[in-house]
Structure 1
Amino acid sequence: MTVTSEIADCRICAERFAATATAHRPQPVVWFRPGARVLIASQAPGMRAHVSGKPFDDPSGVRLREWMQVDDATFWDRDKVAIVPMGFCFPGYDAAGGDIPPPKVCAATWRERALAHAGDVPVTLLIGGYAQNWHLGRGRVTDRVLNWRALAPRVFCLPHPSWRNTAWLKKHPFFEAETLPALRAAIREALA
């Protein structure tokens, strides 16, 4: 049994998810295999990805593909892009309708094996605080995104592409003016 099939069968969070406001069952979204050229380390699938079984199958994904300058076919081609989130399942919503963080048990159980299975990837996107903290240790997303040159062109720290970060993007124009062109160049080279 491969690590991808083991993750797909995982039900370790069944009781945890049943206790959320969404009261859903685990449904891991496993979207990686060896040989991919770009690794997206993200937080966890959203509700739409939970339903469709495709990561970033939502407006955040549209924005992320725009940032990367890749089309849908390239983005969802597992030979080109590996998506390894901190939690493979949609964690659910709290009583107020907010996103619940990915359960730490998921990364503790699967992350190292998943990354080893994905192998050495030329370009890695660390999206949001959960992924950045796991890969780089504790720190602030804004500081890491501001200092993108320190890890580029192999690693890029990005804010989450959610609409909730639109104000952040407007407040930090360097991201669009400087970071995205470098990110796109690195991705083009990795996919060539």
Structure 2
Amino acid sequence: MVRRMRRLAAVALGGVAAVLLSAAFAEPVRAAPKTPPPGVDITGHGLTEPLRLRAETHPEHVKAIVDQVSARGLVRQASSPKKAELGPKYTVVVFAGDVPKQTYDLYPKAAGGPRVFRPAKQPDRKSTAAWFLGRVSMSETLRTAGVPLERTFEAVSGGIGGGERIIPEEALNPAQDINEAFGELRRLLLLNVAVVLVITIGLAGIALLIRRRTR
């Protein structure tokens, strides 16, 4: 019995020693790679060469341009605008470090307000071609970044004479919006009913199992 205990102790000590040695000579854990800094290239009307902006030298401009093409802040259009009403085009390529990731076509002077077009062919993947209503500040953002555009007042004017509608009439469809809202509500209610039924059936099964075992 004593010998057996000694063997177990020796094996345990050997295992602890092996773990300590492996930890001492193991290669240190490498830190997770840092996210490459963002950047943008802008080409288009009035630019003789690409306008290259990087986070290291122009952080505010890069952030402002990326915000212009961020899908979270854009409203998708069901139909494509007329080409004659788009005005000058500026292509923005978004980089992660030196690797191009996304490309968009910006139309700051489009009739009815700025437009954004996402081509189906992207630098690193295939997407779905889509048109979006751009931000009202697109023209001024591009201008301050170095694009040769005239200064504009990025606000909807009122008072005498009124102001131009930023969102065109054809983009406003209250009936469609209401139908979509009711459809989402219907799906949500059906999902909730399904969850309640699953929970109820589960509780009934558990109660039946407990009742059989207690008999």
TM normalised by structure 2 equals: 0.24
The one of the two structures with greater contact order (alpha-carbon pairs below 8 A, sep at least 6) is 1
| Structure with greater strand percent | 2
Larger Rg: 2
TM normalised by structure 1 equals: 0.26
